[in-house]
Structures are given as C-alpha cells and as structure tokens.
Structure 1
Amino acid sequence: MLFPTVLVCGAPSGRTDTLDNGPTVLTMPSLIREAFAAVGEELEQRLTLLPVSPAYRAHYSDGSSLDVRTDTRAMAAEIERACGLPSAFQNVAATTTA
C-alpha cells in the first residue's frame, strides 16, 4: 500500500472537489519496478514495499466482503468462505505452489 503524504483531503494534485480513497494497493510491483528502471532508478532504493494480508478487502452492497489474498490456497479458501460453495479456483490452487 502506498500512503499519500498530502495533508489535505483530496487528490494529490491539490483538488479538493474529489475525495481521496486512501492508500493505493500495489498488486503488481513489477510494473513500478519497470517504471523506475526506465529512468535509471531502482524501486528498492526509493520505496520499501511490505506485504500485507489480506492484500485488500472488497465490500459489497449486500454487506458481504471478500478478503483478497496473495497466497493461492488461501484465496481459494476465502472464495469458498465468501461464496459458500467449493471454488473452481481450487483446481488452480491444487496445481500451483503457494
């Protein structure tokens, strides 16, 4: 997650007519790494990325939620918990390394 350092409510551009949704979820650090490399920098020299669990929590209008996990088996179990039935995702989880 990236936590903005802006001290006012609003987008980092200074606009206050929109709300800041909070920290940014970074699910593909390789994209940020590539962007840094394109300008001759290294991600690890500028940012410290820490894993979080769950990666994020999705909330739905019916009051249910889904914790998105980076571990394949844990994600399969979460889908089963949230949906109340065995997940087809388990077939994928069974063939991949956690």
Structure 2
Amino acid sequence: MKKVIATFILVASITSCNSVKNMDTTKVSNAAQLLGSLSSNSTVQQVASLFSLLDTNNDQAISSSEAIGEVSENFSTLDTDNNSSLNLTELEGILALLK
C-alpha cells in the first residue's frame, strides 16, 4: 500500500513540475507505476520497459531530466561511465539497488 501511495504522490509531483509540462504524462505515470512495482526479483524486460517509458525524447539514453524516483535519486551511482546519461545496461543496475 505504501508503494501505491508513494507512486501517486510521485506522479502528482511530476505532473505539476514545469519541466515536464511538455512530456507525455501518461508515459511518466506508467513509468512511475512500473518503477514502484520493481523489486530485486524483477526482470530485465521490466527494466527495458521502464527505460523506454523514461526515454521521452527517444535518444536511447535517459538524462537526469528524464529520470524519476529511485532512478533520479541514484542517477550518479547508476551512471557508471559518467557521461551524464543512462543506457539500458546502466539502468539494469537499479535492480541491485532494490535489494
């Protein structure tokens, strides 16, 4: 129940931010839901789905402005090549952080 409430709070705060006014709020909402449901037992396919939802400009990378929730909070840890963006392999590192 706490994850559901946290997800709704995250979605509400994200959709109220000026930086996401031009973003597809459905994708952001779906990404927040998926992120809230991830656990250390989640699959790479679930992370790949999250990646495609977060990559709002379709450049095959997640920038810090596209990241939300735990991805945003752990962005520098996940960005192992320090190029200020996350590729799919780097995003898969979120599973280890969820243990």
TM-score by length of 2: 0.30
Q: Relative contact order, CA 8 A, sep 6+: which one is greater?
A: 2
Kindly indicate which of the two structures has a greater share of residues assigned to helix. 2
